[in-house]
Amino acid sequence: MSDTCAINPPAKDETPKAVETQTFEPGPGKHILFFGDPMCSWCWGFAPELQKIAKLVEGRAQFEMVMGGLRPGTKEPWDGEMRKYIRHHWQEVADKSGQPFDFARFDDEHFVYDTEPGCRAVVCVRTIDATKTLAMYEALQRGFYAQNLNITDPEILADLAQGVGIDRAQFVSHYADPKVRQRVSFDFKRSQAFGVQGFPSVLCADDGQYGFLTMGYRSFDSLHSDLEDWLKG
């Protein structure tokens, strides 16, 4: 796949088993499932397109954000080869999408590219107030890519949650809750269950019928007519 962030094999799942019944299925009616990760560069490039998709489907289909887990559970700092590889992708996304990037991130040789904290922060906000999920996701993206914020730091995550209107103390409490860890782990498994191999991916679901609108970066102009046809179908 081109113009996509390929998923790394997840680290060993040490999350306790969920205590609540969950299903991968989105339910009856039309649903748009977005699969992404706030630390996926192509997802940042896709951010303006995602905003347009969310606006277009409002009131016409349920819009859901599923955190896929690009590199969850990474423990070791990135090495020179990894920094070179990721920097190349950032530049490629910047050139194609026009999205801003702060390349100063690559000066930090000790950075651990663990995407679980950012994904968990999105799921945490989704749990507290689902209407702010997209805003939190985009705040994380902008913070990481354009403002050089370390969004693996719980304090920075709390700052960003507060910035989108979430009570800070409530966020901190939920973020540490094992049930939220279970929910983000469920998101990762849900992505795998739908066959998602990279981000961004957008899936159209209609009463048990599924089809990908895109698996990778695609401009809104190029997908608009396909999405409109599906919404009217």
Q: Tell me the per-residue pLDDT of 92-134, one tens digit each, with 9 for 90 and over.
A: 999 999 999 999 999 999 999 999 999 999 999 999 999 999 9
Distance, CA of 69 to CA of 189 (rounded, Å): 9
Supply the pLDDT for residue 14. Answer: 41
Supply the pLDDT for residue 12. Answer: 47
Closest CA to 135 of 69, 54, 24, 33: 54
Judge whether residue 22 has pLDDT over 90: no
Supply the pLDDT for residue 15. Answer: 41
Judge whether residue 46 has pLDDT over 70: yes
- Choosing among 3.30.420.40, 3.40.718.10, 3.40.109.10, 3.40.30.10, the CATH entry for 30-215 is 3.40.30.10
Q: What is the pLDDT of residues 147-180, one digit of tens each?
A: 999 999 999 999 999 999 999 999 999 999 999 9
Lowest mean pLDDT among 17-21, 80-84, 202-206: 17-21
Asked if 120 contacts 81 with a C-beta cutoff of 8 angstroms, the reply is no
Distance, CA of 190 to CA of 195 (rounded, Å): 9
- Rounded to an integer, what is the distance from CA 70 to the centroid of its chain? 9
Average pLDDT over residues 18-34: 81
165-202 burial: b if 16+ Cβ within 10 Å, else e: ebeeebbbebbeeeebbbbbbbbbbbbeebebebbbbb
Give the DSSP H or E segment for 159. Answer: helix 154-163
| Mean pLDDT rounded to a whole number for the chain | 93
Distance, CA of 33 to CA of 215 (rounded, Å): 12
Supply the pLDDT for residue 34. Answer: 98
Q: What is the pLDDT of residues 74-98, one digit of tens each?
A: 999 999 999 999 999 999 999 999 9
Judge whether residue 52 has pLDDT over 80: yes
Supply the pLDDT for residue 21. Answer: 54
Judge whether residue 183 has pLDDT over 60: yes
**pTM, 2 dp:** 0.92
Average pLDDT over residues 55-63: 98
pLDDT more than 70, % of the chain: 93
Judge whether residue 16 has pLDDT over 80: no
